[in-house]
Structure 1
Amino acid sequence: MGKNVVDKIDDLIPINTVLVSVSDKQGLELLIPALVAANPKVRILSTGGTFSRIQEILGQKAEGRLTQVADYTGQPETQGGLVKTLDFRIYLGLLTETYNDAHQADLKRTSSMAIDMVVANLYPFKQTIATAGVTCENARGNIDIGGPTMIRASAKNFIRVASVVDPESYGGIIERLGANNGCLSLGDRFELAKKAFKHTAEYDATISGYLDTLTMDAVKACYPKGA
């Protein structure tokens, strides 16, 4: 048995800090204003094109609420967005437990925030490999790393964090926030966690299945200057 054994949790958790990083941006125009309406003091961390879309949605209301992940972590995104969210402060914020004194001390020591909700969906690997003429290099470039890591971390910590992977879930989340004064319940978070792990499992299965179809000759043909 691990050292961190949780025996006390809260049912209702207010959504004070949200991390949003999505490939599929549909529905953000509904979710983001609803998060602000449910909690006018909500903090939103975001990356790249998602940050720009949220800024567009919120307009002047973005001031003081919306922060680039790079500005929060102090680490700029790498070329092409290869590394954006893989940072200690992000994962401390996702995995920290409310009644764990050591976790709370780490938050204070690093001036980090507990993150209450992750809204993430993944690079479009399935759509990419369905495209005519796709190469293994096109496919390889669409294997998401940071997204599944965020989703898994938030879903693992469903005792405190909501892991949101599907735009079709936004309507129900908005309703629950309205019914619970800006909070989500343990039941809400548990159902979202189940959906999140199914999402990442299917994503990995798609990648594995695609790689199984490739011959080494096809792989080498992608890289004419090497191998």
Structure 2
Amino acid sequence: MDFLPVKRALLSVTDKSGLPELARFLSAAGVELVSTGGTRKMLVEAGLPVTSVSDVTGFPEILNGRVKTLHPNVHGGILADKDNPEHVATLEKHGIAAFDMVVVNLYAFSKALEKGLPLPEMVEQIDIGGPTLLRASAKNFASILVVPDPAFYPEVMDALAQNGMKAPLALRQKTAAATFRQTSAYDDAIATYLAGA
């Protein structure tokens, strides 16, 4: 679809700069906000209505936060092709609500590298759920808007405001490309570190 209506967004970020403004903009337009851990706490403290990912999955965050979003109720809602009637029927059959926007940035592995942490602590700085959310969203840019960096927030808000809260395909493809570049660089930094550790 050329213009994707944005009605439901998943927000889970390490870099929280600019997030309250983006979240307020989305909420004021009637977008349902879904979030995890520290991101959700920040948004609730900002007075915004936020659904917990645990309420979406029906399962608590486990393993010290290692598993939060890795669940069909999240990834089914991200990976469904909204132009495919079979996908839409599958979501309905399993009671899964689709996401229209995913705002995620990753654990700051490069900053952890600068601290020279020991190997076990460095391993805990490797983000798993974040890259999975980003790659799934970027793959499905035809049906979802992925926002991998706060630098995109002004452009995203402007595009949505100009298009009646609908994300243009060109913007979705642009942010998808940026997402794959970021996850690739992230994985490369981890691989380089582990090879030399």
TM range (shorter): over 0.9
More divergent stretch after superposition (17-26 vs 98-107): 98-107
Output the amino acid matched with 1:135: P
TM-score, scaled relative to structure 1: 0.84
Aligned counterpart, 2:65: 81
Shift of 1:79: 3.4
Match of 1:212 in 2: 195
**Within the alignment, does 1:36 sit opposite 2:27 as a pair?**
yes
Task: Write the distance in 2 (CA, Å) between the matches of 1:89 and 1:213.
Answer: 38
Secondary structure at the counterpart of residue 118 of structure 1: strand
Q: How far does residue 102 in structure 1 lie from its aligned partner after superposition? A: 1.7
Unaligned 5+ runs, structure 2: none
Q: Confirm whether residue 150 of structure 1 aligns to residue 133 of structure 2.
A: yes
Match of 1:102 in 2: 86
Give the TM-score normalised by structure 2.
0.97
Matched residue, 1:23: 14
Instruction: Report what 1:91 is aligned to.
Output: 75
Confirm or deny that 1:120 pairs with 2:104: yes
Counterpart-to-counterpart distance in 2, 1:163 and 1:181:
18
Partner Cα separation in structure 1 for residue 20 and residue 52 of structure 2: 18
Question: Over aligned residues, Cα RMSD in angstroms?
Answer: 1.0
2:64 is paired with a residue whose SS is helix
Q: 1:5 — aligned with what?
A: none
What does 1:132-211 correspond to in 2, within 5 Å? 132=116, 134-211=117-194
Q: Give 1:109 deviation, angstroms.
A: 1.4
Q: Return the index of the structure with the highest Cα Rg.
A: 1
Within 2, Cα distance between the matches of 1:51 and 1:199?
A: 24
| Residues 59-105 of structure 1 deviation map (CA, whole Å, 9 limit, x = unaligned) | 1x41xxx2100011101100321100000111110111112122111
The runs of 5 or more residues in structure 1 that have no matched partner are 1-9, 215-227
